[in-house]
């Protein structure tokens, strides 16, 4: 073998090594991408969209790595490049190999070069270089494969078979409608429910109590059948028909799960989705009817009657009353608990229980708090037992000093002074005294006149209360004081005012704005307050004047002032009959609207209000409904709607119910338009028509 033949062989070996290296890089890259997606799937369940990207991305990574490795070693195609690569690793060749490869080398030179190359071998450097180049990608590929092998197989399977999960969570796209598998479902409810077992032929939805035993017989499945309930694979028993032909019977069984799930069959003969909808067993409802409210006990003695009502959908197992007593204060508390009147109810769906709690037996102390409630359990031995409790009643035993701290405000005393004599009566007394005066001694006249004067003063104070309360002053403008006590300065000042001065003072006190040029536009430049009070002010001052004359025993001089006071009071009474009225509001009529000549720019044509923004979950459901309706038909559409129903069952029962009706219609070959419209309205909201004639709504 001459030198040129040896070079060609070495080139072939290098090309093979480059190819193997590129393949290893490609395997490593693709496996790493799949491992990454599988790890994410295992950690957080990926949505169907990202999950379906796993395989394309892995393929892209594979091709990219393959291409990159090939491109990086593209020089291996050239013999000159291979010769130089060998020369660099075998310096003893001294460029003999490169020179031989040169086409211009001929004659004796060739023989000399051949002789030099013949004495040199490059097998070892070549093998070492190849091993070094392959070790890295081989190790990386092995590591990626190992990681993929260590990840949960279910996650890897979901990533590796995205179409299955796309079917489970998204619309069925491009799937041809195949005849569904024929199935028969036997449901055996838990024994405690007392319900009979039943069989469903070819159902779309299997609804039963949680914990029910569900056995499914799949006919015409063919040789291979796989079944998944949610994310879990189900074991399938029985035998296929052999050779993939029809006629095989396969069976599987499972317990009704706690949450809705899709049961999916994959077989050669077809595929099918059945909605598994568990009906939860409700916990017992308990109502504590006695005691009916919380309470505070002064002493913890006597008997507390207890009464409760219990109910359950499948039957009660037991019921009782519970109490907890907490004693202590601040950071030191102790607790006691107990059970009363526990009774077995033997599956009764309704029951009433009564009991009595003797407080003396609990030895409650002041400050103790007792909590009472009723409890019941049902007979659910499949997923339960369910436990129901009533509202809690609280009894507290009052502490010793507790009632002393309650503040009770007494009612205010009645302020009416019913001892006042009317002005008309005072005049009659004064007139009578004046008539008797010639026959009376002076001191008797003075004493009786002063008695009338005291009543006059009492009446004056009542008038004063009315006036000064209206003027915004203190309720009693005239201070009451004991006999002999000198009147205060303000009282004395008021007593010396003439009616005009008093009115002026009142007027200035009731002028609203400090800089007002004149009071409100009332008659004779008076404010309404002054006008209404003027007669009473006159009466007030006349009473003062009459009182002075009575004080010195001169009833005849007091009488004109007393009559003036009475006349003023009468005028005030008449003035009180007037009442102030507000002006009615001004209503502006829309004349243009009345003449049908309004501005058309304000008019709107009738239309529909845009729907409000949907939450992300409803928007996702609506989009899935739209996609299912546009992309699928036949059994694929039924399956998509069933999957949607399962997802919506918890949060959007109206939508799920409408989808259920649509599925029933589709399976029965009926028109499902109405049900689908209802489903759409349930998930996306109804459109609202807006009125087209807003001008009628209100006046501008």
Partner 1 sequence: MSRFVFATAQYESGDWDSAPLVPANITDTIARYTSIEVAPSGAIVPLGSPDLFRFPFAFFTGHLPVRFTDAERANLRAYVERGGFLFVDDHNHDVDGQFHRTATEELQRILGPLRRLPNNHALYSCFFTFEDGPPTTSHELNGWGDNLVHRYLDAVERDGRVGVLYSNKDYSSEWNYHPQSKRLFAVDNTRFAVNVIVHALTR
Find the part of the chain contacting partner 1 (CB under 8 A) among 284-292, 304-312, 589-597, 637-645: 589-597
Determine the 3-state secondary structure of 488 from DSSP: coil
**Residue closer to partner 1, measured from CB, 106 or 589:** 589
Among 334, 574, 586, 601, binds partner 1 (CB under 8 A): 586
**Least separation in angstroms between CB 538 and partner 1:** 23
DSSP single-letter state for residue 96: H
Give 171-237 as a 3 state SS string.
CCCCCCCCCCCEEEEEEECCHHHCCCCEEEECCCEEEEECCCEEEEEEECCCCCEEEEECCEEECCE
Contact letters for partner 1, residues 658-697 (x by CB under 8 A)? --------------------------------------x-
**Least separation in angstroms between CB 532 and partner 1:** 16
Find the part of the chain contacting partner 1 (CB under 8 A) among 148-156, 170-178, 237-245, 588-596: 588-596
**Least separation in angstroms between CB 535 and partner 1:** 19
> Is residue 188 within 8 Å of residue 218, measured between CB atoms?
no
**Residue closer to partner 1, measured from CB, 361 or 586:** 586
Between CA 358 and CA 253 the distance in angstroms is: 54
Instruction: Tell me: does residue 595 bind partner 1 (CB under 8 A).
Output: yes
**Least separation in angstroms between CB 523 and partner 1:** 11
**Residue closer to partner 1, measured from CB, 465 or 526:** 526
Instruction: Tell me: does residue 381 bind partner 1 (CB under 8 A).
Output: no
Find the part of the chain contacting partner 1 (CB under 8 A) among 343-351, 526-534, 578-586, 612-620: 578-586
**Residue closer to partner 1, measured from CB, 585 or 669:** 585
Bond prior to 436 in cis (omega within 30° of 0): no
> Is residue 202 within 8 Å of residue 182, measured between CB atoms?
yes
Determine the 3-state secondary structure of 351 from DSSP: strand
Find the part of the chain contacting partner 1 (CB under 8 A) among 197-205, 534-542, 581-589, 650-658: 581-589
Find the part of the chain contacting partner 1 (CB under 8 A) among 259-267, 383-391, 472-480, 584-592: 584-592
Among 594, 613, 668, 689, binds partner 1 (CB under 8 A): 594
The tokens describing 24, both together, are 């290893």
**Residue closer to partner 1, measured from CB, 135 or 592:** 592
**Least separation in angstroms between CB 534 and partner 1:** 19
Exposure letters 274-296 (e unless 16+ CB within 10 A, then b): bbbbbeebebbebebebbeeeee
Within residues 261-300, the interface with partner 1 by CB under 8 A covers none
Find, among 502, 488, 287, the residue nearest to 390 by Cα: 287
**Residue closer to partner 1, measured from CB, 104 or 583:** 583
Instruction: Tell me: does residue 577 bind partner 1 (CB under 8 A).
Output: no
Provide CB contacts within 8 A for 164, sequence distance 6+.
158, 228, 264, 266
Instruction: Tell me: does residue 588 bind partner 1 (CB under 8 A).
Output: yes
Among 411, 524, 591, 689, binds partner 1 (CB under 8 A): 591
**Residue closer to partner 1, measured from CB, 71 or 696:** 696
> Is residue 316 within 8 Å of residue 349, measured between CB atoms?
yes
> Is residue 636 within 8 Å of residue 644, measured between CB atoms?
no
Instruction: Tell me: does residue 524 bind partner 1 (CB under 8 A).
Output: no
Between CA 366 and CA 368 the distance in angstroms is: 6
Between CA 590 and CA 62 the distance in angstroms is: 78
**Least separation in angstroms between CB 589 and partner 1:** 5
Find the part of the chain contacting partner 1 (CB under 8 A) among 171-179, 357-365, 543-551, 580-588: 580-588
The tokens describing 159, both together, are 């990533």
Instruction: Tell me: does residue 419 bind partner 1 (CB under 8 A).
Output: no
Find the part of the chain contacting partner 1 (CB under 8 A) among 402-410, 579-587, 640-648, 682-690: 579-587
The tokens describing 294, both together, are 């919380």
Strand partners, 351: 310
Residues in the chain: 700
Among 411, 419, 480, 587, binds partner 1 (CB under 8 A): 587
**Least separation in angstroms between CB 528 and partner 1:** 15
The tokens describing 498, both together, are 């003439």
The values of phi and psi at residue 189, to 5°, are: -65, 160
Residue 549, class by beta-carbon neighbours within 10 Å (0-12 exposed, 13-18 middle, 19+ buried)?
Answer: buried
Instruction: Tell me: does residue 585 bind partner 1 (CB under 8 A).
Output: yes
* Interacting residues toward partner 1 by CB under 8 A: 581, 583-591, 594-595, 696, 698-699
């Amino acid at each position: 073998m001459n030198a040129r033949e040896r070079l060609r062989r070495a080139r072939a070996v290098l090309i093979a090594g480059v190819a193997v290296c590129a393949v290893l890089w490609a395997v490593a890259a693709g496996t790493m991408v799949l491992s990454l997606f599988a790890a994410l799937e295992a950690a957080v369940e990926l949505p169907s969209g990202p999950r379906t990207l796993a395989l394309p991305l892995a393929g892209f990574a594979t091709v990219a790595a393959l291409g990159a490795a090939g491109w990086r070693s593209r020089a291996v195609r050239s013999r000159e490049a291979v010769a130089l690569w060998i020369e660099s690793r075998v310096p003893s060749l001294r460029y003999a190999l490169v020179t031989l490869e040169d086409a211009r080398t001929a004659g004796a030179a060739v023989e000399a070069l051949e002789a030099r190359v013949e004495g040199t071998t490059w097998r070892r450097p070549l093998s070492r270089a190849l091993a070094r180049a392959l070790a890295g990608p081989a190790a990386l590929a092995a590591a990626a494969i190992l990681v993929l092998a260590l990840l949960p197989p279910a996650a890897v399977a979901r990533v590796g078979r995205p179409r299955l999960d796309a079917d489970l969570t998204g619309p069925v796209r491009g799937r041809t409608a195949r005849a569904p598998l024929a199935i028969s479902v036997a449901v055996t409810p838990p024994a405690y429910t007392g319900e009979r077992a039943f069989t469903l032929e070819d159902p779309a939805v299997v609804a039963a109590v949680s914990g029910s035993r569900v056995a499914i017989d799949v006919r015409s499945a063919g040789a291979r059948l796989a079944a998944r309930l949610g994310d879990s694979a189900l074991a399938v028993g029985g035998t296929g028909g052999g050779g993939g032909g029809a006629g095989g019977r396969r069976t599987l069984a499972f317990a009704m799960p706690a949450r809705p799930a899709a049961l999916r069959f994959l077989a050669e003969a077809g595929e099918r989705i059945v909605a598994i909808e568990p009906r939860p067993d409700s916990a017992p409802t308990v109502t504590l009817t006695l005691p009916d409210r919380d309470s505070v006990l002064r002493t913890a003695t006597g008997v507390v009657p207890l009464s409760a009502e219990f109910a359950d959908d499948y039957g009660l197992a037991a019921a009782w009353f519970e109490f907890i007593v907490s004693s202590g204060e601040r950071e030191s508390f102790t607790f006691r608990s107990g059970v009363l009147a526990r009774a077995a109810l033997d599956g009764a769906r309704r029951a009433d229980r009564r009991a009595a709690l003797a407080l003396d037996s609990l030895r409650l102390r002041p400050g103790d708090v007792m909590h009472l409630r009723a409890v019941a359990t049902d007979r659910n031995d499949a997923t339960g037992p369910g436990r129901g409790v009533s509202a809690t009643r609280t009894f507290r035993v009052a502490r010793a000093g507790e009632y002393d701290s309650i503040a009770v405000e007494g009612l205010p005393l009645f302020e009416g002074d019913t001892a006042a004599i009317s002005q008309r009566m005072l005049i009659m007394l004064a007139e009578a005294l004046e008539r008797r005066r010639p026959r009376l001694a002076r001191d008797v006249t003075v004493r009786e006149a002063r008695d009338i004067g005291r009543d006059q003063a009492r009446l004056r104070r009542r008038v004063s209360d009315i006036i000064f309360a209206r003027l915004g002053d203190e309720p009693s403008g005239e201070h009451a004081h004991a006999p002999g006590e000198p009147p205060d300065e303000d009282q004395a000042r008021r007593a010396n005012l003439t009616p005009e001065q008093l009115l002026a003072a009142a007027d200035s006190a009731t002028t609203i704005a400090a800089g007002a040029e004149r009071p409100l536009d009332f008659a004779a430049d008076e404010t309404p307050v002054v006008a209404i009070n003027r007669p009473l002010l006159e009466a007030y001052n006349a009473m003062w004047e009459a009182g002075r004359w009575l004080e010195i025993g001169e009833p005849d001089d007091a009488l004109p002032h007393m009559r003036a006071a009475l006349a003023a009071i009468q005028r005030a009474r008449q003035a009180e009959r007037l009442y102030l009225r507000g002006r009615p509001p001004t209503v502006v009529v829309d004349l243009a609207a009345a003449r049908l000549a309004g501005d058309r720019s304000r008019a709107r044509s009738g239309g529909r209000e845009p729907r409000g923004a949907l939450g992300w979950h409803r928007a996702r459901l609506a989009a899935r409904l739209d996609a299912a309706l546009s992309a699928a038909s036949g059994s694929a559409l039924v399956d998509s709607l069933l999957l949607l129903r399962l997802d919506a069952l918890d949060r959007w029962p109206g939508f799920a119910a409408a989808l259920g009706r649509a599925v029933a219609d589709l399976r029965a070959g009926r028109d499902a338009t109405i049900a689908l419209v209802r489903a759409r309205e349930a998930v996306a909201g109804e459109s609202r028509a807006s009125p087209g004639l807003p001008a009628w709504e209100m006046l501008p």
